Amino acid sequence: MQFSDQDGSGAGMGPATAGVGRHWAVVGLQWGDEGKGKLVDRLAGRFDAVVRYNGGANAGHSVVVGGVRYALHLVPSGILAPGVLAVVGNGVVVDPERLIEEMDGLSARGVDVSALVLSDRAHVVLPYHKAEDALREELLTAAPVDEKSPPKHAVSAIGTTRRGIGPAYADKVQRATAVRVGDLLRPELLRSKLDLICSMKNAIFRGLRPGEPDPFNAGEIADRMIGFGERLRPVIKDTTYLLHDLDRAGKTLLFEGANATMLDVDHGTFPYVTSSNASSLGIGPGSGLPPQKVGTIIGVVKAYSTRVGGGPMPTELFDETAHRIRERGREYGTTTGRPRRVGWIDLVALKYAAMVSGVTEIGLTLLDVLAGFDELKLCVAYETPDGRTDRFLPDGFDLAEVRPVYESMAGFGDEITGVRSFEDLPGAARRYVEAIEAFVGVPVRTIGVGPDRVQTIEREAGVPAGGRA
Ligand code: GDP
């Protein structure tokens, strides 16, 4: 073994360069919808490939290019950058029908989708997953609340998008009842798998809905899936080898996280989370590339907080301020159209998320939405039943019991959508940005002041490592 860097890629180098990766990642640090799509779209052209590693069609990115709005669910936002590979990694769960719809929709608008690559090891979302998702949410919503049980132990609906994502991941872990993208190209195997799986799924549904006919027909599902497989055949590849080949060839990869750190199944506000590792920690298992290969991790943060679906959100607002933020920020879900819950920025949660995702810089978004408020509030600690803390409580039930402790700052009156440099921002807006980076201990490198690509302030910020608190 030679400790030399023959191809200039860093492969074969000794410990001196270990852990200093060339690749980048963009992850949400809140509860999703932070504007990751726009950031990835801006960066994509500088990379050789953009890679999705988690989630499914429950994610929704909106990207505005030249006044045209694109809603992307499964296809990585990198598809909008000519010449960049758009890779759907093994950690994603794929609804083939939706993927094909999305590809056709993009093609119809003149986007070249030939750069799409889909992992043969990604798991497939099937019709019974969507039915299971809907039924589970229905049963949880209808579950009677036990008067004697304290609210701490009551369980309510997760508020999923009912796209079958959770049940597809559950089947992945169950293994025998899982279908992977590669199986769509093996009709015999697929048919026998689906025969077995549908008999099991039908039995479960009969138990939960006695007297109703079997909802799933294995033959019909197999026919449809085999058709989708044929259509997708040209894009199905072993993406683990592909990514390592690109890495060895000195190419650069941009990992695009779907959902967000607070929704990470292990480190988010469980059980009100999504079913994948939506923090940067999911990159390894979801792509096959070891984490030390990723050196720059951008945490995307809205200038305030939003959340969709159930679960605690300490800084949630219900007043006129909430209404104003929701309307100015167009805070309605890309995937579901649901109004998002909104609130002030939660720095306690943010600092935790930045820690878990190991972010090296922050991309602040939607600062323009906060123009016109006299006062801005930032949550800097929580009051809990056990006293005040500046540590986040990731358990969903514990978090439901905290009250936010705020610090107030002066707001900025002027619209900032036309501002392109940090120095030209109103003083109060600059101080707001500086307060965020000081608390979290991570520099804010870009600031979004509008939905279009160009409405971004690039900044070389300097902030002492370690932060405040
Ligand atoms: P993602 O899933 O994290 O990409 O977020 P979404 O696409 O769901 O939500 C972000 C929304 O905010 C989209 O409609 C974007 O066009 C828009 N957006 C992104 N950055 C900014 C910004 O800085 N200002 C404003 N006003 N809108 C933005």
Band the pLDDT of 334: cuts 50, 70, 90: low
Candidate of 29, 30, 38 to mutate for ligand 1, largest count of ligand atoms within 8 Å of Cβ = 38
Query: Which atom belonging to ligand 1 lies closest to the Cα atom of 34?
Result: 3
* Residue 77 near residue 39, CB atoms below 8 Å: no
Calculate mean pLDDT across residues 86-97: 97
In this predicted structure, the answer to whether residue 362 has a pLDDT above a threshold of 80 is yes
In this predicted structure, the answer to whether residue 429 has a pLDDT above a threshold of 70 is yes
DSSP string, 193-256: HHHHHHHHHHHHHHHHSTTSPP---HHHHHHHHHHHHHHHGGGEE-HHHHHHHHHHTT--EEEE
- Residue bearing the CA closest to ligand 1, atom 25: 450
Band the pLDDT of 464: cuts 50, 70, 90: very low
DSSP string, 273-294: S-SS--SGGGHHHHHSS-GGGE
In this predicted structure, the answer to whether residue 9 has a pLDDT above a threshold of 90 is no
Query: Which atom belonging to ligand 1 lies closest to the Cα atom of 452?
Result: 16
Band the pLDDT of 461: cuts 50, 70, 90: very low
| Count of alpha carbons within 13 angstroms of residue 184, beta-carbon side | 30
Ligand 1 centroid to residue 36 C-alpha, Å: 7
Lowest-pLDDT range of 26-30, 128-132, 162-166, 313-317:
162-166
Q: Is the peptide bond before 271 cis (omega within 30 degrees of 0)?
A: yes
At 38 the three-state DSSP class reads helix
Whole-number pLDDT of residue 178 = 95
Tell me the longest C-alpha to C-alpha distance in the chain: 69
Task: Tally Cβ neighbours within 10 Å of residue 391.
Answer: 12
Q: Which of 78-87, 138-147, 250-259 has the highest mean pLDDT?
A: 250-259
- Residue bearing the CA closest to ligand 1, atom 11: 35
Residue bearing the bigger pLDDT, 41 or 353? 353
DSSP string, 344-396: -EEHHHHHHHHHHHT-SEEEEE-GGGGTT-SEEEEEEEEEETTEEESS---SH
Q: In this structure, which amino acid lies at residue 59?
A: A
In this predicted structure, the answer to whether residue 280 has a pLDDT above a threshold of 90 is yes
* Residue 426 near residue 346, CB atoms below 8 Å: no
In this predicted structure, the answer to whether residue 137 has a pLDDT above a threshold of 50 is yes
User: Active-site residue among 23, 41, 48, 61?
Assistant: 61
Residue bearing the bigger pLDDT, 448 or 142? 448
- Residue bearing the CA closest to ligand 1, atom 17: 451
CA distance 32 to 41: 17
CA distance 177 to 431: 53
In this predicted structure, the answer to whether residue 434 has a pLDDT above a threshold of 90 is yes
User: Active-site residue among 33, 41, 133, 171?
Assistant: 33
Ligand 1 centroid to residue 62 C-alpha, Å: 6
Residue with tokens 């109060």: 428
Ligand 1 centroid to residue 134 C-alpha, Å: 28
In this predicted structure, the answer to whether residue 469 has a pLDDT above a threshold of 70 is no
Phi first, then psi: give them for residue 380, nearest 5 degrees: -115, -5
- Residue bearing the CA closest to ligand 1, atom 28: 451
Query: Which atom belonging to ligand 1 lies closest to the Cα atom of 369?
Result: 26
**Percent of the chain surpassing pLDDT 90:** 71
Band the pLDDT of 208: cuts 50, 70, 90: confident
Ligand 1 centroid to residue 415 C-alpha, Å: 17
Calculate mean pLDDT across residues 363-370: 97
Q: Which of 63-67, 143-147, 306-310 has the highest mean pLDDT?
A: 306-310
CA distance 440 to 415: 26
At 105 the three-state DSSP class reads helix
Q: Put residue 32 in one of left, alpha, beta given phi > 0 → left and psi -120 to 50 → alpha.
A: left
CA distance 300 to 28: 5
Active-site residue, 33 included:
yes
In this predicted structure, the answer to whether residue 1 has a pLDDT above a threshold of 70 is no
| Mean pLDDT for the chain overall | 88
Query: Which atom belonging to ligand 1 lies closest to the Cα atom of 28?
Result: 3
* Residue 88 near residue 119, CB atoms below 8 Å: yes
Whole-number pLDDT of residue 17 = 41
Query: Which atom belonging to ligand 1 lies closest to the Cα atom of 38?
Result: 19
Phi first, then psi: give them for residue 365, nearest 5 degrees: -125, 160
CA-based nearest residue to 329, from 362, 359, 372:
372
In this predicted structure, the answer to whether residue 467 has a pLDDT above a threshold of 70 is no
Q: In this structure, which amino acid lies at residue 221?
A: I
Ligand 1 centroid to residue 71 C-alpha, Å: 11
* pLDDT digit string, tens, across residues 289-324: 998 999 999 999 999 999 988 899 999 999 999 999
Whole-number pLDDT of residue 405 = 98
Ligand 1 centroid to residue 467 C-alpha, Å: 27
CA distance 79 to 75: 7
Active-site residue, 153 included:
no
Q: In sequence order, what are the beta bridge partners of 140?
A: none
Query: Which atom belonging to ligand 1 lies closest to the Cα atom of 260?
Result: 3
In this predicted structure, the answer to whether residue 212 has a pLDDT above a threshold of 50 is yes
Residue bearing the bigger pLDDT, 387 or 338? 387
Whole-number pLDDT of residue 331 = 94
CA-based nearest residue to 23, from 216, 291, 266:
291
Whole-number pLDDT of residue 157 = 62
Task: Tally Cβ neighbours within 10 Å of residue 421.
Answer: 10
Task: Tally Cβ neighbours within 10 Å of residue 445.
Answer: 18
Radius of gyration of the chain (CA): 23
Ligand 1 centroid to residue 61 C-alpha, Å: 8
- Sheet with 23-28: list strands edge to edge: 236-237, 116-119, 85-88, 49-52, 253-256, 23-28, 294-302, 361-365, 444-448, 456-458
Ligand 1 is surrounded, with C-beta below 6 A, by 28, 33-38, 60-62, 64, 330, 334, 365-366, 368-369, 448-451
In this predicted structure, the answer to whether residue 431 has a pLDDT above a threshold of 70 is yes
